[in-house]
Chain A
């Protein structure tokens, strides 16, 4: 038996890095310690796609990696407006190869951010982001606000490792030295743990941020008695708490990005943070979901200048979310082939987009089958990053880490699959050029 310590969990944006994994004589993982339940099940592994396959007469037929890769390359080389989508649950090495592939074939490349924290990125491009790494919160934060996010459910170790329950230099007493505030439309499990729960009417976050901004900037007179279901006196006391704090952090989640005003909501949340910074140290951070959704945004930004939703059809990167996002080009029926890697648009995209996706040739690369597999034309199973393949990943606070390879696998790594497709595409183009 072999024991690996300080293993990194490749599941959520927390990327816990103190996990212990035991591997038996047969090379199978037998025990995982220190991870939360979701992390443990991810590392232990579950039903996989067993073989590369190509759809023929409506049925998937098993084939070799070579054959699947060749078919994938033909589809992409043939396409006039290909989409390369996913990229968030794989390592940065894969993403770099993906960008090269996109440049080569003039594709649209996009990651899952465009349907989760895309609005947050747009807001950052409007007003900036006063933020920090998670250790600043561990060591300094005396007020922790979770706004429209439910860490108990989505990022189970977050409070323990990085925020409310952790202990640090200026917060040696852990939760005794902090106050936790949850703002949400319903009383979540996280809300039950909070010192203060603020219940906002659905879609009312924008108004609450505005009211808090007004109070923090000395204009409490303009705030009505009740704002989106929250009483003014509660807002005043929250503002007072903030003014008296040493360090506040607002973690926000899908509850804010996906209600009504979308990116305007986040811009307002950031403006609220800027207002709080007039009184104390104030920071804000998106609760990124997939472990490397941030990593793709980083890679894409340093290679192509923009974080997601990039159209390379003109030879240079063109960035215009709303026009160049994966959902946009699907809903508009623009794209004529798609490569989907480590994600499941069939479950997460609007019905119009999925309908178009089902009509066009789809290549899927993933360790696991999912509803997208139902209509994929080429299916390429891959090694699980962080368990069977190593690589760079970026935590939700942009700390870069390297996930490890713990066990051997018969599956090919994502990066190699993409690189081989790229080689095949180049070979096809070279032949056509002749």
Chain B
């Protein structure tokens, strides 16, 4: 493959400690290299006056699978909000909060992103998730299977049979070609099978376990292997006033568990939805300060923001009871799809209105968190796409985090409740390009363990995923920042220029990353007996038709996770 030289850019590569230095980047065969073989033959990109970063890494965005597609189907009106005709190398695009797979790939690439984690894959429908991921161009991706409400998990947790649990988890991650363990309203989604819900320390109906037991056991199971990522947790009581206390107790559940790799033991996702004070929507307030305090004082937790983009969006989660609450609150259309023995899904359209006091306060929370948590390596920028807003809103959030002025302007536009029920107005901190580079790529890569696999940095040997933004590293105008991050001047994916001057110029297929936990054979044979019984007695598909076949990952990147020593 031809060589590529990116000259004169101001580089932000936090993982390698490069903090806004003017330097050249050399690329050959899809990788970052020390130097070029043939400087004269290489293609040269002049990045003078530009900011250069590793390709963006999104740790949590619902971009593919049954739930996302049910959202698209539910909302043809959303489809019409993003129509773009086929043009050049691009296929047609649709959708705003629930874009089609083509638009998803193109729009991420235009923002300089090159890796996205689909964070909620129902194991039974994993094939569907993978089919859509394959049809999502350019970006690399992976998916987290939901393993917390599975009957086998509940049984082993109840029986305190943690060895078997770890083998089951290994089997499930392999069978689904997943990347790690996703937890969504543990116990509550199972209870939703009979229209119930359950709190962190309540017994799950029909099972003698609590959600806290499930989280703890799965964290232990995860750490039995050298898993790149920790458990990825959407806890109990998402979106309920007063839930911040549950959130703090959830953090404590895994305290003291030691990680098998150098990383957190729990990633808690879209934490904005878990930072609520008050006892009802009337006295609802932000408790971002309490959550930030905990995260500042503890090393085992990382978070992504789930920050709100004001406007219309589509909410979708495996947290069925939460979506039902939202439907009862709004009276809007509601889709629910429970998945046998495993999980569920709910979908409700939602408008975050700047006139609404609760929505306005919610909007402040994501920003508060990013600004109050001192160490940006514990934070990943996200909107829990599309739950708090579509991913194409990231540049708006970046501009807010970089500009106190911009925040103050918007705070005047939204409901005045934000001045009493949130601390945002009192926060002066502004993130710089280096910190933005951390929360949009470097921390996400580290938290997901992808930095060991060529993502999130520009060190020699890394994947040549590079974003070049047409903005000076001294620029402070929020509008200029927003524009620059929405349409990269160049995006390079595995050494290939895919975006030039904000337009897609090539659409290579991305890879699917997945993890293979390596469980000892005898234990696996033991667990297979239980799995066989489970399929016979309860599932509606045969065991042999269940695991995802090779054809669904045509461009695989496999990470082996041996038993941890």
User: What residues make up the interface of A, taking CB atoms closer than 8 Å to B?
Assistant: 5-6, 8, 17-18, 92, 96, 103, 121, 124-136, 138-140, 161-162, 168-170, 246-247, 274, 277, 280-281, 283, 297-298, 301-307, 312, 314-317, 319, 392, 394, 398-402
Q: CB of B95 within 8 A of chain A?
A: yes
Contact A315 B538 (CB under 8 A): no
With A96-B135, A103-B91 as given contacts, are A168 and B83 in contact (CB-CB < 8 Å)? no
Closest to B327 in A: A128
B276-293 toward A: CB 8 Å interface, digit per residue (1/0)?
000000000000000000
Check A398 against B66 for contact (C-beta < 8 Å): yes
- Docked CA distance A302–B73 (Å): 9
CA–CA, A138 and B340, complex, Å: 9
A172 to chain B, nearest CB (A): 9
* Also in contact, A319 and B76, with CB within 8 A (given A130-B336, A246-B194): yes
Residues of B near A132 (CB, < 8 A) are 336-340, 344
Q: Does B545 contact A (CB under 8 A)?
A: yes
27 pairs, CB–CB < 8 Å, chain A vs chain B: A5-B544, A6-B544, A17-B545, A127-B334, A128-B74, A128-B333, A130-B336, A131-B338, A133-B340, A138-B340, A138-B540, A169-B151, A170-B206, A247-B193, A301-B69, A301-B73, A305-B94, A306-B79, A306-B94, A315-B85, A317-B79, A317-B94, A392-B131, A398-B128, A398-B337, A399-B541, A402-B551
For A135, list chain B residues within 8 Å (CB).
124, 339-341, 538-540
Q: Which of A125, A130, A247 contacts B334 (CB 8 A)?
A: A130
B76–A125 touching, CB < 8 Å: yes
Residue of A131, A140, A319 touching B194 (CB-CB under 8 A): A140
Chain A contacts for B102, CB-based, 8 A: 303
Cβ of B100 and Cβ of A305 under 8 Å apart? yes
Q: Contacts A6-B542, A18-B542, A136-B193 hold; do A402 and B86 have CB atoms under 8 A apart?
A: no
Q: State which of A305, A312, A401 has its C-beta within 8 Å of the C-beta of B545.
A: A401
Q: Which residues of chain B from 382 to 409 have a CB within 8 Å of any chain A CB?
A: none
B452 within 8 A of A: no
Tell me, rounded to whole Å, the shortest Cβ–Cβ distance linking A217 to chain B. 13
A401 and B93 within 8 A (CB): no
Q: What A residues does B76 contact at CB under 8 A?
A: 125, 305-306, 319
Please measure, in the bound complex, the distance between the C-alpha atom of A17 and the C-alpha atom of B542, giving whole angstroms. Answer: 6
What is the interface of chain B, defined by CB distance below 8 A to chain A?
Answer: 64, 66, 68-70, 72-76, 79, 82-87, 91-95, 99-102, 124-125, 127-128, 131-132, 135, 151, 193-195, 206, 324, 327, 333-341, 344, 347-348, 537-542, 544-545, 549, 551
B336 touches A125 (CB 8 A): no
Task: Let me know if B128 and A317 touch, CB within 8 A.
Answer: no
Q: Which of A17, A136, A398 contacts B541 (CB 8 A)?
A: A17
Q: Which of A129, A246, A394 has the most CB of B within 10 A?
A: A129
Determine the chain A residues whose CB is within 8 A of the CB of B151 once the complex forms.
Answer: 169
User: Within 8 Å CB of B91, what residues of A?
Assistant: 103, 303
Given B92, B128, B195, which contacts A400 in the complex, CB threshold below 8 Å? B128
Q: CA A138 – CA B544 in complex, angstroms?
A: 19
Least Cβ–Cβ distance between A146 and chain B, in angstroms: 17
Find chain A residues with CB under 8 A from B73 CB.
121, 124-125, 297, 301, 306-307
Q: Which residues of A contact B83 (CB under 8 A)?
A: 316-317
Asked if A399 contacts B537 (CB within 8 A), the reply is no
- In the complex, which residues of chain B have a beta carbon less than 8 angstroms from the beta carbon of A305? 72, 76, 79, 82, 94-95, 99-100
Once the chains bind, are A302 and B85 in contact (CB under 8 Å)?
A: no
**Cβ–Cβ < 8 Å partners of B93 in chain A:** 316
* Residues in chain B near residue A162, CB distance under 8 A: 540
What is the CA–CA distance of A319 and B100 in the complex, to the nearest angstrom?
14
Contact of A303 among B101, B540, B544 (CB under 8 A): B101
Given the complex of chains A and B, what is the CA–CA distance between A130 and B321 in angstroms? Answer: 12
Q: In the docked arrangement, what's the CA distance between A96 and B206, Å?
A: 43
In the assembled complex, the CB of B77 is this many whole angstroms from the nearest CB of chain A, namely 8
Contacts of A298 in B (CB 8 A): 69, 128
Q: How far is the CA of A56 from the CA of B108 in the complex (A)?
A: 51
Residues of A within 8 A of B333 (CB): 125-128
CB distance from B432 to the nearest CB of A (A): 38
CA distance A140 to B206 in the complex (A): 12
Chain A: which residue is nearest B64 at the CB level? A302
**Other-chain contact of B94, A121, A136, A139, A304 (Cβ < 8 Å):** A304
Check if B86 sits within 8 Å of A302, measured CB to CB. Answer: no
User: Known contacts A124-B74, A128-B333, A246-B194: does B135 contact A302 (CB below 8 Å)?
Assistant: yes
Cβ of B340 and Cβ of A400 under 8 Å apart?
no
Flag if B339 contacts A133 (CB, 8 Å): yes
Minimum CB distance partner of A140 in chain B: B193
Given contacts A17-B545, A392-B131, A400-B128, contact A281 B194 (CB under 8 A): yes
Complex: chain B residue closest to A106, CB-CB? B86
B203 to chain A, nearest CB (A): 17
User: Are A281 and B195 CB-contacts (below 8 A) given A132-B339, A139-B340, A399-B541?
Assistant: yes
The complex places the Cα of A228 from the Cα of B69 at a distance, in Å, of 37
How far apart are the CA atoms of A349 and B340 in the complex, in Å?
Answer: 37
Complex alpha-carbon distance, A405 and B344, angstroms: 32
CB distance from A171 to the nearest CB of B (A): 10
**For B84, what are the chain A residues with a Cβ–Cβ distance below 8 Å?**
316
Query: Shortest beta-carbon distance, B205 to chain A, in Å?
Result: 11
* Docked CA distance A6–B335 (Å): 32
State the Cβ distance, B447 to closest chain A Cβ, in Å: 28
- In the complex, what distance in Å separates the CA atom of A317 from the CA atom of B79? 9
Known: A17-B542, A139-B340, A302-B132; 16 extra A-B contacts, CB below 8 A, are A92-B131, A103-B86, A124-B73, A128-B327, A128-B347, A129-B336, A133-B540, A277-B195, A298-B128, A302-B135, A304-B100, A316-B83, A316-B84, A316-B92, A398-B70, A400-B66
- Chain B residues near A131 (CB-CB < 8 A): 335-338
A280:B195 contact, CB within 8 angstroms:
yes
Smallest CB-CB separation from B101: which chain A residue?
Answer: A302
| Nearest-CB residue, chain A, relative to B332 | A128
Of chain A, the residue at the smallest CB distance from B102 is A303
Smallest Cβ-Cβ distance to B87: which chain A residue: A315
- Which chain B residues border A138 with CB–CB below 8 Å? 340, 538, 540
A5 contacts which chain B residues (CB < 8 A)? 544
The answer for the CA separation of A5 and B542 in the assembled complex, in Å, is 10
Neighbouring B residues of A124 by C-beta, 8 Å: 73-74, 335
Alpha-carbon distance A401/B82, docked complex (angstroms): 31
Cβ contact within 8 Å between B538 and A401:
no
CB distance from A52 to the nearest CB of B (A): 27
The complex places the Cα of A303 from the Cα of B124 at a distance, in Å, of 22
